[in-house]
A and B are shown apart, each in its own frame.
Chain A
Amino acid sequence: MSTTILWYATRGAGVVSLVLLTAVVVLGLTSAVRWQTTSWPRFLTVGLHRNLALTTLVFLAIHIVTAVVDPFTALGWNAALIPFSSSYRTLWLGLGVVALYLFVAILVTSALRPLFGYRAWRVVHWLTYAMWPIAVIHGFGTGTDRGFAWMLGIDVLCIGSVTAALAWRWNRVSPTSWRQVASNG
């Protein structure tokens, strides 16, 4: 396969992964604040959140496989699967691998939630707050297109929307504050 196509696939899939992941995070926060309208029910937010996460996995796989398989990059599978093991941009690439592992952990616990139980699922899900920033920083550090204005624009949009969603989430009174856990001990 032409190395140029692989090269473009890696970069394109990387950008798409970032955008999709951003959407997934925003939808997750939207679900947490329980936002809904008559034409946009809760299950749509949750359903999209899950489906886009799986779509992200697909593009992430393309991003990683094309990068490893491309003879031009001289990256082996080790670089893709063992964090900080590549000689090429060790730190930034390594962060990408870390983000991948976090993502896989979140996906697996979510897919097998009845098996893991609610508590375990919830704790692992909090890793999202680490995974998404690490993915963004990976893009800044080693993204080929990071200098371009359009890429910068995408980055700004992604960071902006997650920040806004986070602020929305933090400003909401927790919907479960009524529990006031005070055990009769």
Chain B
Amino acid sequence: MNAVITARGLRKHYKNTIALDDVSFEIPSGRIVGLIGPNGAGKTTALKAILGLTPFEGELHVLGLDPRIQRNKLMEQVCFIADVAVLPRWMKVRDAIDFVAAVHPRFDRAKCEALLKRTKLTPNQRVKQMSKGMIVQLHLALVMAIDARLLVLDEPTLGLDILYRKEFYQRLLEDYFDEDKTIIVTTHQVEEIEHILTDLMFIRDGKIVLDTDMDAMGDRFVELMVSADRAEAARALRPIDERTVFGKSIFLFDGADKAVLEGLGETRRPSVSDLFVATMKGTYQ
């Protein structure tokens, strides 16, 4: 089975908002998928559906299991870090390791302890005495020591300083990720994860508006920088976005002919954040 997640026609609505509106997608094994969307777009709902934390309509298979009815079995293979600082405040580092080691069949205690050795955390420290960054270090050490096939990260670095944020993703890439594992991550700090993503999904108002791998994205979207006198010519090619920086106009094209664009000026692959801003224009209006 190659696909880690197959979703068909997912629907979910809260009292007066639609969180998921007929969402379908497939995530193969060995990918790092960025699920990106504005606040309230349905990111967290999608993740909760995958984790079996919320009821929904539609068909969803995660590692071949239905998260609604086979959640306990599923959680042996799936880990998640939801937001920062959800570790219980009364817990000691030692308690956390003992507990997870006792209840999780795929937890590797030695690996967890080795990971914690690189931090300043001590076995008797309580979560309530830790900074946000330290809590995430502990949580990450616990999660990375579990040999899971799917890791779900929902805003894992929110509120952390840049040192912790960089370290977080570096650890994941260096000591955790391999072709048998899949990571889904949502975050608003798009620039920081851009270089580690293999796939990109934009979600807006409960719909997936973009679902592509990073190579295909580079082929499809092109950013063009031209001087002011050529701006009209570029505009004629119907860009999806336009902005001006230091007197030069920057256009974003979706599926335009690369050869034509190169004749007008300098082209390059757009950054995920620029693409995001262009795609989500008008969301809050």
A binds B: no
Chain A positions near chain B (C-beta within 8 angstroms): none
List the interface of chain B (C-beta within 8 A of A): none
